[in-house]
Structure formats: C-alpha cells, structure tokens
Structure 1
C-alpha cells in the first residue's frame, strides 16, 4: 500500500505541460529562402510560371523546419513567379484561388535534411569506387594465384 501511495505521488510530480510556439508571421520556404507572406493580393495577369510548392510543415513545438516548408499553408500549396519581380525578392503564394505576395525575409538556417540530398550521390559514388577497387584487387589476386 505504501508503494502505491509513493508511486501516485511521483506521478503527480511529472510535468505534463506542453508548450507550442506562436509564429510572428506566416512564411513559406523556397529553395533555402524564407519568404514572409503579406496581405497584398497579386493580380492574376502578373502571375508567372509555377516554381514550387510546400512539401513539409514547420514544427509548432520546436520551431524547426526543412525543405520547402510553411508554418501556415498546407502541404501542396503552390508558389509562382511574379512577372517583373525577381524570385529572390518576392514570390506569389496560391491561397485558395487568389495569390498573395510573399517577400524575401532571410536565408534558411542549416538543417541536416537540407544537405542530405547532396550527400546521397556522393556516398553512392564513393561506394561504387570502393567496390570497384576491391573487385580489381580480388581479380588481381586471383590472376596471380592462377599463374603460380
């Protein structure tokens, strides 16, 4: 009985509070650049070609994000060029049939998932080179053993 009472007391001491972030502004990420979404609507005639879409959601608890993420828009939300405006300065974000302007805010902080896409081919090619060298060494040893 004493063990049960102590266990119950310890359970009440475990913190159960969850914290979530509140974002200062809505943002979208495109190719390593964070764009702050504004309320300014873009005329349909100024919408250029498709340049990307939201692929991941920003984590509301840690504040971390990677890839083409957003803290407000769902996965699949599309980005478009604005005619006469450089992509590095602003883009258009599709918001249920209308397009709103998103202006460049800053570069994305480094995240390991952003560089993994560049490392996979390097690891693959390194593996191929190692396998090739091992194969050549085994082949050479085999030929030497036959010639004896």
Structure 2
C-alpha cells in the first residue's frame, strides 16, 4: 500500500501543477492600453463627451505579450476608433470609443523597443 499512496501523491501533485499552468497560459497585463502614433495610451476609468476628430483605430488586437507595429491594443478589438479630446493635446490623452461612450486613455510614453 505505501507504493500506491506515493504514486497517488505524485499524480495529484502533477495534476495540480498542470492545472495551474493551463489557467495562467495568457499574460496578466498590468493595465489595458492602446497604441496610436507610436505611443502607448493607458485606458483610465474616466469618460468624456468632449470628442473631436477621429484619429485612427485599432488595427491589431492580441492578448499575447509582444511588440506590434500597428495601432495595437491588448483590450480593444480591431476597428475600435480613437478620437481627439477637444482642448486636450494628444500628447496628454485620447478618447477610445466604447459603443456610445468615450473612455479616456492617457499617454504613458513611447511604445516598443528603443
């Protein structure tokens, strides 16, 4: 019986390790962001109605950690539109369309590897 108990312990531990690895297979991003004009904009909890011209849109979505050359987002799908915020420089923030609402995304810095 001791061999059976040891084998069961090893199998149980192996199963727990495999389950743990499979539930953590995609990256755990620190925050949601979009990339526009080579800059990363971190999505805030704030909204605005003061939107101006459309600036662009998400052209690449991925939940895989990597550096992408396009207007990339780790949260929004392709086609999600970016807008300027009236009286706010795009060097500070932009607005991301969410249905009929516009969420503010604040510029964090250059995106990609320098």
Shorter-normalised TM-score: what interval? Answer: 0.7 to 0.9
Secondary structure class of the residue paired with 2:29? coil
By percentage of residues, which structure has more helix? 1
Instruction: Give the structure with higher Rg (CA).
Output: 1
What is the aligned residue count? Answer: 93
Instruction: Describe the superposition over 1:105-132 as per-residue Cα deviations: whole angstroms up to 9, x where unpaired.
Output: 1211139xxxxxxxxxxxxxxxxxxxxx
The answer on 1:87 being equivalent to 2:90 is: yes
Is 1:21–1:63's contact at 8 Å kept on the other side of the alignment?
Answer: no
Which residue in 2 is equivalent to 1:23? 29
Given the alignment, which residue of 57, 71, 93 partners 2:61?
57
Separation (CA, whole Å) in 2 of partners of 1:89 and 1:53: 18
Structure 2 unaligned regions, length at least 5: 1-17
SS of equivalent residue, structure 1 residue 110: coil
In structure 1, the residue matched to 2:38 is 32
- Which has a greater percent of strand? 2
CA distance in 2, matches of 1:90, 1:38: 10
Match among 94, 99, 105 for residue 96 of structure 1: 99
Q: Distance in 2 between matches of 1:87 and 1:72?
A: 20
Higher relative contact order (CA 8 A, sep 6+): 2
After TM superposition, the score normalised by the length of structure 1 is 0.58
Q: CA deviation at 1:83?
A: 0.5
Structure 1, unaligned runs of 5 or more:
1-15, 112-148
Q: TM-score, normalised by structure 2?
A: 0.74
